[in-house]
């Protein structure tokens, strides 16, 4: 490899018997924890690789064989997970490294490529950061004060949606004596009960699948609900039903803007049902937060989120009802004083605060020329929205 291997001791302290009992791959997971990096990759013929400041770097220890990887992963899989891998060529699971109550969690995908197993593992910190630590706008706290309705986090995989939702849920947890139920695949953050009681159900371990978990959700007397990804009609319908019956519901969806989020939801349904879906969104949607991660100039913070925040107000409801989703951005731009923000404005703030540099901002901006003007104090004109 051209890159110099990252120096970290792979041997663990302890007796020879302790080492024998520990899963063989734990030394790579523990090295990832000690180095405080985000990802671990294992592929036959290469050393274990970690993602450090955005780039993949090899760990010391030499290339791994296909047998080492397969035997090491099968050692930590359940029988059901092994069967799933054999049948489908891939398996997702959560893996805890450490003692109970003091464990670091990894979100692991083991997959077949060219007849051999490879592994991609994302480290999920036990520490849940707050809004300020995540460099999120102050107005995002407003979401945690809703008593019912639907809040959607939008973005691609790896955009930090789960981290932002965790901050929201933990904020409620510290403040309100409520019952919070999460349905996750897999569990990504482990919450400690504070004022709230939190029950976390992991698909494949605590419940067979999402549909089964949703079926029993209302019998569990929740006040706040986290449903994972809005992936099908049944999941979205269950989320809306929970919102309609007085619950605050969080969910995620793959979309890049508030308008596209609404389009993605509508695309789940047949054309003849979309009018009723719009009505459900009009009355139950409280907020959409779209997010992507970008490099920071702060050495201790490798990436920060840039966001678009939409809170549903009378104007937004009117646009949803009249199928004028493309005009939602105009309402957002006219409502900065109410806590809404678009990507351009948030990027401008991050530059002014010294959190990101100009180059990063322009690369992330939906319209670099518009951002350039905003940084010079020139506001773009917004079209009329209620005509």
Q: What is the pLDDT of residues 226-255, one digit of tens each?
A: 998 888 999 999 999 999 999 999 999 999
Coil vs helix vs strand at 153 = strand
CA distance 10 to 4: 16
What pLDDT sits at residue 245?
Answer: 94
Q: Which two tokens stand for residue 137?
A: 């706008």
Question: Are 304 and 356 within 8 A, CB to CB?
Answer: yes
Helices (H), ranges, the chain: 16-21, 26-34, 66-76, 79-88, 161-175, 210-217, 233-244, 258-267, 274-284, 314-321, 328-333, 343-352, 358-364, 368-375
Tokens of 162: 């789960």
Bond into 88 cis (ω within 30)? no
What is 360-384 written as a DSSP string? HHHHH-SSHHHHHHHHTTPPPP---
| Confidence check: pLDDT of 145 > 70 | yes
Q: d(Cα 360, Cα 336) in Å, to the nearest integer? A: 23
- pLDDT tens for residues 282-292? 999 999 999 99
Q: Report the candidate in 189, 156, 138 with the shortest Cα–Cα distance to residue 292.
A: 156
Residues 154-192: pLDDT tens digits?
999 889 999 999 999 999 999 999 999 999 987 878 899
* Model pLDDT, residue 13: 45
- DSSP secondary structure letter of residue 239: H
Is the per-residue pLDDT at 21 higher than 70?
yes
Q: Distances in Å between the alpha carbon of 227 and those of 12, 153, 301, 341?
A: 38, 11, 29, 25
At 10, the pLDDT band (50, 70, 90 cuts) reads low
Give percent of the chain above pLDDT 70: 92
What domains are there in the chain, each with its CATH number?
Answer: 16-124 (3.30.450.90), 138-375 (3.40.50.300)
Give me the pLDDT at residue 101, please.
57
330-387, pLDDT tens digit by residue? 999 999 999 999 999 999 999 999 999 999 999 999 999 999 999 998 776 554 445 4
Q: In the prediction, which pLDDT does 387 show? A: 47
Identify whether the C-beta of residue 289 lies closer than 8 Å to the C-beta of residue 151.
Answer: yes
* Segment 42-94, tens digit of pLDDT: 999 999 999 987 789 999 989 999 999 999 999 999 999 999 999 999 998 88
- Residue showing tokens 């913070």: 301
Beta bridge partners of 55: 52
Q: What does the mean pLDDT of the chain come to? A: 91
Rounded Cα distance, 172 and 86, in Å: 41
């Amino acid at each position: 490899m051209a890159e110099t291997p990252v120096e970290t001791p792979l041997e663990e302290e302890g007796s020879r018997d302790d080492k024998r009992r520990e899963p063989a791959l734990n030394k790579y997971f523990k090295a990832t924890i000690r180095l405080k990096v985000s990802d671990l990759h294992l592929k036959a013929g290469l050393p274990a690789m970690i993602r450090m400041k955005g780039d993949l770097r090899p760990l010391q220890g030499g290339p791994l064989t296909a047998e080492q990887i397969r035997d090491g992963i099968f050692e930590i899989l359940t029988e059901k997970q092994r069967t799933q891998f054999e049948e489908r060529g891939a398996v997702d699971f959560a893996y805890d490294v450490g003692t109970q109550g003091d464990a670091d969690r990894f979100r692991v995908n083991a997959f077949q490529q060219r007849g051999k197993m490879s592994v991609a593992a994302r480290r999920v910190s036990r520490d849940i950061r707050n809004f300020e630590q995540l460099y999120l706008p102050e107005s995002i706290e407003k979401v945690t004060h809703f008593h019912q309705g639907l809040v959607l986090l939008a973005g691609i995989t790896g955009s930090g949606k789960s981290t932002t939702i965790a901050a929201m849920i933990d904020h409620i947890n510290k403040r309100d004596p409520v019952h919070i139920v999460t349905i996750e695949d897999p569990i990504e953050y482990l919450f400690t009960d504070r004022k709230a009681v939190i029950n976390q159900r992991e698909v494949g371990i605590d419940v067979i699948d999402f549909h089964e978990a949703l079926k029993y959700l209302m019998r569990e007397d929740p006040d706040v609900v986290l449903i994972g990804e809005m992936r099908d009609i049944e999941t979205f319908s269950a989320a809306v039903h929970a919102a309609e019956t007085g619950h605050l519901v969080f969910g995620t969806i793959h979309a890049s803007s508030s308008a596209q989020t609404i389009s993605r939801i509508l695309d789940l349904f047949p054309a003849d049902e979309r009018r009723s879906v719009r009505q459900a969104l009009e009355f139950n949607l409280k907020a959409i937060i779209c997010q992507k991660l970008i490099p920071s100039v702060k050495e201790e913070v490798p990436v920060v989120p840039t966001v678009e925040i939409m809170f549903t107000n009378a104007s937004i409801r009117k646009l949803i009802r009249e199928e004028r989703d493309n005009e939602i951005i105009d309402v957002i731009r006219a409502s900065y004083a109410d806590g809404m923000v678009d990507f351009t404005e948030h990027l401008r703030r991050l530059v002014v605060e010294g959190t990101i540099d100009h180059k990063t901002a322009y690369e992330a901006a939906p319209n670099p020329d518009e951002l350039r003007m905003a940084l010079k104090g020139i506001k773009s004109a917004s079209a009329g929205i209620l005509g």
